[in-house]
Structure 1
Amino acid sequence: MSAGGMLAEAGRVRRGDLRLPVIAGGAWLVAIVATGLGADGAVVLAGVLAVGAAAALAAAVVAAVLASRRERAADVAAGSLGTARRTSLPARRFVGGLASAALVLAAVTLGAGALAATTASLAERHRLPPQLAVIADSESTARWTLETSGAVSEGRVAVQVRSVEQRDARIHLDTTAVLFARDLDAVPRGTPLAVTARATSTEPGDDAAVLLFARGSPEVLGAPAGGDELLDGLRAGFRESAARMPGDGGRLLPGLAIGDTAELDPGLDEAMKVASLTHLTAVSGANCAVVVALVFGLLGLLGASRLLRVIGSGIALLGFVALVTPEPSVVRAAVMAGIVLLSLALGRPVRGLPVLGAAVLLLVVAQPALARSYGFVLSVLATAGLLVLAPPLARRLARWMPRSLALAVAVPLAAQLLCQPVLILLQPELPLYGVPANLLTEPAAPIATVLGLIACLVLPFAPPLGDLLCALAWVPSAWIAAIARFAASLPAASLPWLPGTIGAIAVAVAIVVVLVAVLGRGRLRSAAAGLAVLALVLATAGVGGAALAARAGRPADWSVALCDVGQGDATVLRSAGSVALVDTGPDPELLDHCLADLGVDRLQLLVLTHYDLDHVGGADAVIGRVDRVLVGPSDGADADRLDARLRDAGAEVDQVERGERGGLGDLAWEVLWPPERGVEPGNGASVTLSVRPVDGAAGLSALLLGDLGEVAQARMSGVAHPGRYDVVKVAHHGSADQDPDVYARIRARVGLIGVGENDYGHPTSELLGTLADAGTLPLRSDQTGLVLLAGSGDHLRVWTQRAPPDD
């Protein structure tokens, strides 16, 4: 079949193809609502929908009966009135049949919604049984038996809760949680653990039933059972081989091949986001399609029957999902691939929209929590874009370019258009070079995926061959990384947009207008084209005006700045020409960009509250630019090496403890924590800095809490007795491990939260509630970007790079 024929076939949507997507969309919407209502609320919703389904079905039956009677009466009348009367019968039958079909479709959709609400209720009861809810609501400490279900990352790991013991009573459970433990080494998935931890509850529908904060080090109880250790060994071996490859290509390769982004540095991660290439490291439909196609084709070359090819491809697909772990986008893609394989086995035709609808329906009913997953939403929307939008866009583009190039452009463009409203909710920016970047990387991605996946499987048995395959896969991986870096470095790589729901609606309306202008016909197309031109002019003026207004409105006399460095802390203090930086965030590039934006070339003072990567990972940006460094207790050789590098570059490095004092321009600073002895290095020993203007001087007072947890905060408050402050740098990126009494005591007007995209739930609703109770305005760097504070006392002024979304 020619390229044009394939485009025409792909773009032909039959009326019957829409039934399953409509039913699935209704069930999906219900699942979104039901998972937020709790178990009891979801049951009520299910009952209401079931009644509605029954009513719609009854109405359909009544309509069909009445239509049949009218038709018989019309036949009798037509016989007496002649042929002219008979010509109106087909139209009446069509209208009657359409009404009955619509009622049946409504009944089925409502019934599917009732089923989704019912499973949401059951899932919530299983997720948070009453005994666990009591422990979580009281935030009490207990002894937990767990099994890891994810990779350990920065002291956090997803776990399955097997049992909890409190007051000599043991409860056996099977639910999900997230464990926070600083002293937890990397262990394979499926590793059994025992730990004493404090539990806090999460919102209904959250993936984790509780958050567990370890008291002491977790105890490893044994090796993983089943194939978890084998799969983790495959991943680890592949990571080690890829790590031997130079530069960004080696760090990116595990993400491209098996979705493992553990080695991806923050700078490259940010560049991938700006270039709209993050889908390449989120294993989804393309990866599953490659695996299934390879196995299906290979078995075909070996002469296997269609049934054997389907079975073999299904087994390979299950193994692939186990290897890359069942993330939401992977599950969606795997279920779609499974439905396609089943259709092939039964000899049934395969059409994209019904398959997508069936997959979504099955998943939101079987696992309602997926309905709220951004990964799942983006995966479904991208697939819908490829099925619905890509073919007509390619046909339109084929008027001005070769058909193969038109299809290559249409595919990423269609996916980007449907996903953009949701992406605005995550990051209110428009990627200007996303489509060209995807076009340039599209040929390289499957090569890196296939070669990397084969290398991962071959390495345990033939390491030299596996390393060779890794080296070959490194070439397209390095190309993709280079394109991401280049696209992110171009002028106006991302344009600011309205944040929150309003921004998502605005971009959705703009996309619809543009699509009608491009794909529509007649007067509607002309009107849409005029609106599109007007919208483009207004958007250009708005973006440019917003940028100029934002720059013009920046306070030149700012004294406190919160840099947007992702999931990490970097706070700048300025007074009378002297500048201090408290922590460096995780990435030198992001910190260097912030300091350059602030016009900071030299630091009179650098404070490293502790040595976690999200607080010292950006230190390379300031080495050689610092006069004095304050540090807490060293936690090992890496910390000592960093101190030595700072010292060798000319800085005076001092380990400080409570009582150390000094000055910064017209500010006086004092170290309130850690004490001389009695604390272990790490979060609990974070250098806590109190900053106040000297007598008579203008400026803002600030308390910077590092990553202190609840116990350390209480101890610090008990010995330091902090008073009121204008600003508080919220501890630990807004985790739930906080002492509300401290925030109530200092009653800060502004709470700065250094936070980025994360799986920890930061900042937590508990922390935000604590700030609200204390009358403290939370400002989050993930929502606001750069934050500048100016003024003094009751005249504090706030400037943010982006407007915070409406609550």
Structure 2
Amino acid sequence: MSLDLRLAVPALAVWLTAGLLIGTPEAVGVVAVTLWLLAGGCTALLVLSRMPRRGQWPGAPRAGRWQTLGGTLVLCCTGAALVATAVGVWAPVRLPSEVRGAAESHATITATITVWSVPVAAKAFIGSGTSGRVRFKATLTQLESRGETTPVSSPVVVFAEASRSGAEPEIGSSLVVRGTLRTTEPGDATVALLFVNETARGVAPPPWWLQWANELRARFKTAATSLAGDGGNLLPGLAIGDTSAVSPGLDTAMKTSSLSHLTAVSGANCAIVIASIMLLGGYLRLRRSWRIALSLLTLLGFTILVTPEPSVLRSAVMATLTLVSIGAGRPGRGLPTLLVVVIALLVSDPWLARNYGFALSVLATAGLLLLAGPLARVLAQWMPSALAAIIAIPLAAQLACQPVLILLNPSLPLYGVPANILAGPAAPIATVVGLIACLMLPLLPGVAAGLLAVAWLPSAWIAAVAQTVSMLPGTRLPWPGGAPGVLLLAVVTVLTLVVVLRGRAATPARWPAAVLVVLLIGLGGYAGSLIGTGIGRVVSFPPDWQIAACDIGQGDAVVVRDGDQYGLVDVGPDPKLLSACLGTLGISRINLLVLTHYDLDHIGGVDAVIGRVDTALVGVPENAQDVSLHERLAAGGAAVRQAARGDSGNLGSLTWNILWPIRGATTMQVGNPGSVTIMFDGRGIRSIFLGDLGQEAQDGLRRASSPGRVDVVKVAHHGSADQSPELYAELRARVGLISVGVKNTYGHPTEKLLNILASVGTLSVRTDREGIAVVAPGPGGTLVLWTEKVADHGPPANPTPAAESVGGAG
């Protein structure tokens, strides 16, 4: 069957134009005028080319190829001009001067907002574990600053304190809040981040046409999450796309195993809903026009229920066009319909061009339309047709989406297709039965409860597959990142498809095969060099690593992780070194930042994280410069809190407690003796971070807040001699992390400290000799230690990068 690709080039032109212009809106006027002139000129030339020339009869054949090319050029220029015009019209509306001015001045504003997404945890929790922050999308409709009130219409992401009653803002409700604004990067779907520093008060409830969905969504989430384990928490995501109940650990497992798309409502969900309505209408013998009308009405309600995220929007519009074309007696074909939808949505909202969800939805659909059939036919030569189809569907979607996924994570999933083969068949069952249960809850609660129990089984199976696959060794393979990585992967994918899909009877594709072999050999060497040099070392980390000590020279920067939630204790001396480490670890946002004290080797790298921090715990400021640092963090959107003994909270499933300094004490509150000392506990590891505490402060800590046994200690003051043997004897840590620079002039770490650690059975791990060091929980209460370089403290279990198991206590 031939493919209709006539709209492919115009769709690509529209997408590229939108993606470029939303990042540089200042150039949109000139570009729009130029594109309209080109569109007009191309149209005129096309019309002239169709007019009969002198000496040519009206019915004479014309140069069809050139006319087709001219038509494509007209569509490209016209579509690009429409996008440029849309950017020019909407950019100043989205980010007016009043909003920009309020963000640049860091002034506290009073804002009226309308909520447009379900609030989810902002991933850092402060206090006793009962309060934290949530984030949600909203439209800023009114701005009051410095006595002036201005009506606006700006999309923002709101960060606010979680409601202690558990009643978060509902979609469609209007609130009045006070807080500060920070603009986002040009081209972002939202123009600013709004950090609320006062409790929001309601202005107007949601309209009726949204309220029914809010109530149904909340009721279904409550009923589903009452079921046991990960299956209950995952079910709302599978059925209606609500992932707010998914734990950080399960979320990470779903992403690692390439199953996270199952909780993103898209074409498959819309197809299931429409097919169910059409089948029901056929059973009831309704006329086709009535079945189509009922399907469209149901699709609208479904879109409201699951919220119109970009992937849902693409699916819903495409399904609508398909139904309308069927009703008109001219059924459309899949690929042209997809391309028409892409052009229409990008013209209506050019900011979709840089939305990963929209891009992945389009690419996955295109992959299924273009590749699933040919791949199934090729695979059917070696296996049953049904099995070939089961394998071809996730493989086609994975091949189409992977070039974009490289931008999110520069590595390839090794077990993505097998995981989808195992989990994929369960997803439609969980989706259909779960959605029916959701709709039945207000009408027949007993029936809904039974359906929920049935839907829980496939949901639990998917969660089990994700957790199991994520724990397998070598879950991801290294690959170049950025635009070069995308281009290279696209070339390799195309060459592979050319070689594989030619069929047995076709002439062997010699030159594509030769180029592919050369690329694969080169990439194999590249991957080996990445792992050997440590540039791509993150892909060989233990998948469930919890602690990573950055190699940032003479200074401290240690990451604590649970799932996709990250804490960072100190930031080292240099923002470039810290940025490199965070990039290696794949970290873009810090949920909990701890600045133990204000020495340069602990705060010098703070510029690398300003604007990327949710919550910052700091010590007592020593001078105006320290206060200014707090203000810079707050202006970047962080909630800055002075920490002292007794403070506690959560980072994902990990609990943290501040052990030192003592609030209100008159001595040892600043400098090294006042270092904020924090302890983390959870997922099999108990760890303590001692900052730069000296012996006197360490003994004071031991008397005031006896920490007891730990698994990992971040050794104080880079291993100086000013240490308390009694404290380390009490800690009896299995691993002691020493952040220290190569050839430092202080003689760190000292023999005294190393002897103290050795005497209590603590394994010394030094960043100056071993580079970045990573600790993960191991089986049977052991620890898994991974280091970038071969360790000097004994023969490693594996070659560089080194990894070994550290036995459990006793």
TM-score by length of 1: 0.68
Range 285-294 or range 433-442, more displaced: 433-442
Residues 479-505 of structure 1, C-alpha deviations (whole Å, 9 max, x = no match):
111111122122222112212222222
Match of 2:381 in 1: 399
| In the alignment, structure 1 residue 99 sits paired with structure 2 residue 105 | no
Query: Structure 1 residues 573 and 321, CA, compared in 2 at 3 Å: closer, same or farther?
Result: closer
Are 1:32 and 2:19 an aligned pair? yes
Q: CA deviation at 1:316?
A: 0.5
User: Does structure 2 retain, via aligned residues, the 8 Å contact 1:370–1:376?
Assistant: yes
Distance 1:216 1:410, change over 3 A: same
Cα gap change, 1:54 to 1:670, in 2 (>3 Å): same
Structure 1 residues 634 and 291, CA gap change in structure 2 (3 angstroms)? farther
Pair 1:437 & 2:413 matched: no
Residues 196/556 of structure 1: CA separation in 2 closer, same or farther (3 Å cut): closer
Q: Which residue of 2 aligns with 1:320?
A: 302
Deviations 1:621-667 (A, max 9, x none): xxxxxxxxx9747679x78xx99x999xxxx956733779889xxx9
2:645–2:660 CA contact under 8 A, matched in 1: no
The answer to whether the 8 Å contact 2:252/2:564 transfers is: no
SS at match of 2:7: helix
The alpha-carbon deviation at position 267 of structure 1 amounts to 1.5
Which AA in structure 2 matches 1:27?
V
1:561 is aligned to: 558
- Distance change (3 Å), C-alpha of 1:473 and 1:130: same
- Which residue pairs with 2:100 in the alignment? 133
Return the alpha-carbon distance in structure 1 between the equivalents of residues 501 and 656 of structure 2.
60
Distance across 1 between alignment mates of 2:788 and 2:445: 50
Structure 2 CA distance, aligned partners of 1:661 and 1:332? 62
- Which amino acid in 2 is paired with 1:177? V
Secondary structure of the 2:509 match is helix
State the match for 1:19 in structure 2.
6
More helix by share: 1
Report the alpha carbon displacement of residue 470 of structure 1 after superposing the two structures with TM: 0.9
Worse-matched range after superposition: 247-256 or 547-556: 547-556
Aligned to 2:700: none
Q: CA deviation at 1:71?
A: 4.5
User: Which residue does the alignment assign to 1:285?
Assistant: 267
Give CA-to-partner distance per residue, 1:565-592, whole Å, 9 cap, x none: 55533447999xxxxxxxxx9xxxx9xx
Q: What one-letter code is carried by the residue in structure 2 that aligns with 1:549?
A: T
**2:141 corresponds to 1:162:** yes
2:693–2:717: 8 Å Cα contact kept in structure 1? no
Deviation, structure 1 residue 158: 1.6
Which residue of the partner structure matches residue 317 of structure 2? 335
Q: How many angstroms apart in 2 are the aligned matches of 1:126 and 1:539?
A: 46
- Equivalent position amino acid for 2:531 in 1: A
- Note if contact 2:182-2:194 (Cα within 8 Å) is conserved in structure 1: yes
Alignment of 1:670 onto 2:674: yes
1:28 Cα offset (Å) = 1.7
Residue 239 of structure 1 and its aligned partner are, at CA, apart by: 1.2
Deviation at 1:65, TM superposition (A): 3.6
CA contact (8 A) 2:532 2:801 kept: no
Partner of 2:663: 657
Quote the Cα distance in structure 2 between the aligned partners of 1:125 and 1:41: 13
Aligned partner of residue 161 in structure 1, secondary structure? strand
What is the alpha-carbon distance in structure 2 between the residues aligned to residue 452 and residue 692 of structure 1? 54
How does the TM-score come out when normalised to structure 2?
Answer: 0.68
Query: 1:489, 1:168 → 2: CA distance?
Result: 56
Check the 8 A contact 2:438/2:448 in 1, yes or no: yes
CA contact (8 A) 1:272 1:278 kept: yes
Contact conserved, 2:239 with 2:434, CA < 8 A, in 1?
yes
1:192 deviates by 2.0
How is 1:56-135 mapped onto 2 (pairs within 5 angstroms)? 56-65=42-51, 68-69=53-54, 71-72=56-57, 93=61, 96-135=63-102
Distance (Å, rounded) in 2 between the aligned partners of 1:662 and 1:134: 42
Summarize the Cα distance change of 1:321–1:250 in structure 2 as closer, same or farther, 3 Å threshold. Answer: same
How many residues are paired up? 608
Deviates more, 1:135-144 or 1:229-238: 135-144
- Helix, strand or coil at the partner of 1:276: coil
Q: CA deviation at 1:140?
A: 2.1
User: Is residue 189–residue 355 contact of structure 2 (8 Å, CA) maintained in 1?
Assistant: no
- Indicate if the aligned counterparts of 1:669 and 1:690 stay in contact, CA closer than 8 A: no
Deviations 1:25-67 (A, max 9, x none): 22122111221222x522321111111112222222333347x
CA separation in 1, counterparts of 2:410 and 2:421? 23
Structure 1 counterpart of 2:345 = 363
Residue aligning to 1:173: 152
CA distance in 2, matches of 1:42, 1:673: 52
Determine if contact 1:64/1:97 at 8 Å carries over to the other structure: no
Distance across 2 between alignment mates of 1:363 and 1:655? 55
| Distance in 1 separating the partners of 2:301 and 2:380 | 39
| Cα separation, partners in 2 of 1:387 and 1:557, compared to 1, 3 Å | same
Instruction: Report matched runs for 1:488-527 at 5 Å.
Output: 488-520=470-502, 525-527=509-511
Match of 1:46 in 2: 32
| CA distance in structure 2 between the partners assigned to 1:137 and 1:698 by the alignment | 38
- Please tell me whether the aligned partners of residues 115 and 171 of structure 2 are also in contact (alpha carbons under 8 angstroms): yes
8 Å CA contact 2:248–2:565 kept in 1: the answer is no
> For the residues of structure 1 that align with 2:667 and 2:15, how far apart are their CA atoms?
58
Using the TM superposition, give the Cα deviation of residue 312 of structure 1 relative to its aligned residue in structure 2, in angstroms.
Answer: 0.3
What is the identity percentage for the equivalent residue pairs of Structure 1 and Structure 2? 39
Q: Residue 190 of structure 2: SS of its match in structure 1?
A: coil
Q: Out of 149-158 and 405-414, give the one that drifted further.
A: 149-158
Residue 224 of structure 2: aligned partner: 242
Among 438, 457, 476, the alignment partner of 2:439 is: 457
Paired with 2:79 and 2:401, the residues of 1 have a C-alpha distance of 25
